[in-house]
Amino acid sequence: MNTIINNLRNELDKNSDDQVKQSGQRFFKESILLYGIKTATVEKIGKSYFQLIKDQPKAEIFRLCNQLWQSGFIEESFIACNWSYYFHKQYEPEDFEIFEKWVTEYVGNWASCDTLCNHTVGEFVMKYPQYLDRLKEWAKSDNRWVRRASAVSLIIPARKGLFLKEIFEIAEILLTDKDDMVQKGYGWMLKVASQAHLREVYDFVVKRKATMPRTAYRYAIEKMPPGLRKKAMSKD
């Protein structure tokens, strides 16, 4: 099966473009490893290679995903995220340890964090909500990406109106975090939660207006009705 990874990497290398690489780097403050391939092309390549391995056991797919994560290339991380999500109907409780390893050891930028957590981890906690307590532990991590992951893992559940109690608990833990990537992550989580729980989220953020970083606050109220948003931004 290692031949699959080698062939996949050769395919990615053939599709690399220096202009796309330079353009892509501008979206990140930190230096990242890029082949320089447009996202649609990465997804197309990933899907074509998945067709060759889709009948393999989930454990084998996750082993291949682990190899992709280890490379450090953002395009390979996207493919690993997609491959792991394709097996979401087969998730089992013990899979959390694998996902947690990817978050804590390999995630090093907002794009890989969000792609993994929005879908793979988000789907997992909807299936096994008892693991929400582990996300609260992530929120206390020294690793900025693990802290962001605790929030962005709840984006899809929040969109479905789920886990408001846990969303508020994680937002409370992250409330005064000084990292802008974490602020944007939990602000985004609250913004999405406000679509199903407008009044509750409004009351939560306004009550904490004096201590919530401005970046997180603006993200949280961004999709609220104009009148309510204006009231939230008033100095009263």
Question: Can you list the pairs that 56-60 forms with residues at least 24 positions away whose Cβ atoms lie under 8 Å?
Answer: 56/1, 58/87, 58/90, 60/1
Domains of the chain: 1-90 (no CATH), 112-236 (1.25.10.90)
Q: Which pLDDT score, from 0 to 100, does residue 86 have?
A: 97
Q: Measure the CA angle with vertex 82, ends 77 and 87; round to 5°.
A: 130
Contact by Cβ (8 Å): 107, 139: no
Per the listing, tokens 């904490």 go with: 208
Task: Determine phi and psi for 71, rounding to 5 degrees.
Answer: -70, -30
Q: Per-residue pLDDT for the chain (236 aa), expressed as one digit of tens each?
A: 679 999 999 999 999 999 999 999 999 988 899 999 999 999 999 999 999 999 999 999 999 999 999 999 999 999 999 999 999 999 999 999 999 999 999 999 999 999 999 999 999 999 999 999 999 999 999 999 999 999 999 999 999 999 999 999 999 999 999 999 999 999 999 999 999 999 999 999 999 999 999 999 999 999 999 999 999 998 76
Q: Which pLDDT score, from 0 to 100, does residue 236 have?
A: 60
Q: Residue 203, Cβ neighbours under 10 Å: how many?
A: 11
CA distance 108 to 76: 13
Per the listing, tokens 């202009």 go with: 19
Burial class (CB in 10 A: 0-12, 13-18, 19+), 175: middle
- Give 230's Cβ-side CA count (13 Å radius): 3
CA distance 37 to 166: 37
CA distance 171 to 122: 16
Contact by Cβ (8 Å): 69, 80: yes
Instruction: For the chain, state the CA radius of gyration.
Output: 19
Q: Measure the CA angle with vertex 150, ends 77 and 180; round to 5°.
A: 85
This prediction has a pTM of 0.96
